[in-house]
Structure formats: C-alpha cells, structure tokens
Amino acid sequence: MVPELRQAYNTAFTDEKFQAFVQALNNYSTPIQFRIAETPVFIPQTFSQQMIDACEQIVDVILQPDFKEKTTRAIPENYRVPNENAHPHFIAFDFGICRNANGGLEPQLIEMQGFPTLFGYQVLLDDVFSEHFGIPPGYSSYLGGLNRQSYLELFKKIVVGHEDPENVILLEIFPQQQKTNVDFYCTEDYLGIRMVCVTELIRKGDQLFYLKDGVATRIKRIYNRVIFDELQQQEAAVQEKAAVLFKDLDVEWVTHPNWFYRISKFTLPLIQHPNIPETRFLSDIKEIPVALDHYVLKPLFSFAGQGVVIDVTPADIAAIKDPENWILQKKVEYASVIQTPDEPAKAEIRIFYFWEEGAARPRPVNNLARLSKGKMIGVRFNKDKTWTGGSFALFEQ
C-alpha cells in the first residue's frame, strides 16, 4: 500500500531472518498456535484516516441516548448478565482493504465487537519485529499519539483500575489451551494479573474468589475474555461452573459481557457510511435483491464465523426460520494488494479502541492485521500458503 516501503521490505526479506523472528516470538512463553505472517501492512495516512472516520461515526451511534434500547434484543436472554455498565471498555473494528469504483483502495467494515482482542500480544509482536526487521521512520503500530509505554499504561489503568492486581483476573475457558494463549501470557506479564479458568471460580455469597498460590483470593475486577457463545460448545460440567457468571455478583466487568452482543453484527443495520457495507436485518427485507451474488448472509449469533453463507441463493433465505436473527450484508470484495514473492495477499485490519471510565468517547490505540490468499480470511482458507496469517499494520504518522 506504500509502494516504496513494500519494495524495500520484500527486497531485504530473507527466510532466515523471518525464522529467527518467529523463533523469538515462540520463545516468549509457549509456541504460538497460529500462523505468523511474513510481513506487516504499511498504511498511508489517507487510508488510516478513512478507517478512523468510519469508527468515529459508529461511536456516534453508540453514544446516542436510545442505543441501549435499540440493542436490547441483541443480547440472548440466557446470556444476559446483571450489572451492565454505561459503556464498553474496549471495541474492535475490522476493515477489509478493498477497491472502490474508481480502482483506488478503500477500507470497508467487516464487523465489530465490544470485546477485547490481542491487546497484549500485539505489543510483543511490535517489540520482536522491531528487533529483527526494524520499524520504518515515521511509522508506528500505535495510534492516537500513543507509544509502547503510554499504551500499556492506559491498558493497565482500564483493566486494573484502582484495585490491587491480585484482585483482578483475566477470565477465559481453559486459557492455556486457547490458540491465542500467548496473548494471555503477555497480559499477565504486562498488567501483573493472573489468567483464571471459569472452572476455577469459587463463589461465596455474591463474591468470587480464585486460588492464588493455594490461598483463596478475592476477585474484584474481571478482564473478561470468555465468549459466551463458546460456552455452548463446552461439556455440561463446564457450563454448570460458568453459570455463576450470570448471578448478581459484587464484581466489576472489563468489559461487561452484554457489550459483546450490543456492539456486533447486530449494530450494522443502524449505521450508514461509505466505508460500511449496506446491511439489513433479513426480517426487514420485503423483496430479495436480484443480484444475490453481491451479498453475504450472516447469523447474528454464531461463534467464529460459523453459519455464514457466502454464495447466497433464494433457497438459503427461504430455509431460514428466524430471519430476525440474520443479516443480509453487501459483500465486501477484498483486494489482493499486498505484494509477496508469489501471489499477492489480501488483508484485514483490526483497529483497537479503548474507553476509559469517565471519558466522553473511546480512542483508537493500536491494531492487528490478518493476511490471506484464500476466499476468506482464516486458517482453513490458507493451508500451505506463505505470507499469510497474523500480523500488524504500521501507520504513517
């Protein structure tokens, strides 16, 4: 996307240097369980500003007084958690790099979530990449004027708050077994908190505890990494232990689980913006569009992209029994613009927003990127392909 940087990077790239980089990442904790891409994505100011403008318009919608009322149905009744706070602490916005009608490049929103992502790992990735490849002058992975130190200070301030770190936990379902477990180890190191599995929670009245070095330790804040949809995939014993999370507890959530549903695919039909594809609830569509091949059908409530119909037919729509729980979205065509040694790659950029308590609005702080040469972004579409996988964007400052 920045031709001179791309050419210089590809020319200087060697597989030996890349393998040393990957090994350094793997030496941090446990071996990383997802593919690491060979390159970052270089983003010019004009393109990053388009992404931020779209994010800010979405924030405007979230700030509207009736937003909670409009998104009440987004939260499944069996997943509704008490004591919801005024706003999410974290939002992630995913953009595909696409071509516009004039042949130029533009971002198009894919989806968003009021939920954390790899906030810790991306710091490690930036650190190790800088050591092995170097960051071009005038570029940074951090946004909003932040750097490594100020980003981590803000991250800790939001998650830990005024509590002792021992009373703050990162909560997940079997965290050490997750493919993103490197992020949890990073978070432990950077914030001084512990990762805890839902099966390890101890309830005493309206209070929660975990065992720290064999001592029952009070939990006052939960940095929540549990995707409640994933709980449905667990055996009954795990779901029974996790049922405590739906009780009226004396804990603070960071971010509260209800925001995962409020800020999601459910929100897209509420927004109109040039960088946000037309999206409608299936139940609101009176006539099926003629050019269905230009649309994608998505369930509102699904885990890890399950149930998405890429090549939509009228029969697919007719078969849906609960159209109020589906959206029909204008298909986003990713542009293969990242030059690699063989075929060019597509890319998706995730913008991180942090929202401090008492702040009028959230702010952009960091990012991640994913590269693909398949039909969609994701491991199963990129088997045996190089210059694909997890990465980050470097933004022109």
Residue-level pLDDT, tens digit, the chain, 397 residues = 899 999 999 999 999 999 999 999 999 998 999 999 999 999 999 999 999 999 999 999 999 999 999 999 999 888 999 999 999 999 999 999 999 989 999 999 998 999 999 999 999 999 999 999 999 999 999 999 999 999 999 999 999 999 999 999 999 999 999 999 999 999 999 999 999 999 999 999 999 999 999 999 999 999 999 998 888 889 999 999 999 999 999 999 999 999 999 999 999 999 999 999 999 999 999 989 888 989 999 998 776 557 889 889 999 999 999 999 999 999 988 999 999 999 999 999 999 999 999 999 999 999 999 999 987 676 667 778 999 999 999 999 9
Residue ranges of E strands in 190-294: 194-197, 202-204, 207-212, 215-219, 221-224, 252-254, 279-281
- Residue 144 has what pLDDT? 95
- Residue 238 has what pLDDT? 95
Residue 384: partners with Cβ closer than 8 Å, 6 or more residues away: none
Is residue 55 within 8 A of residue 95, CB to CB? The reply is no
- Residue 377 has what pLDDT? 73
- Residue 304 has what pLDDT? 58
What's the one-letter identity of residue 198?
A: V
Which tokens go with 197? 């599995």
- Residue 1 has what pLDDT? 84
3-state secondary structure of 379: helix
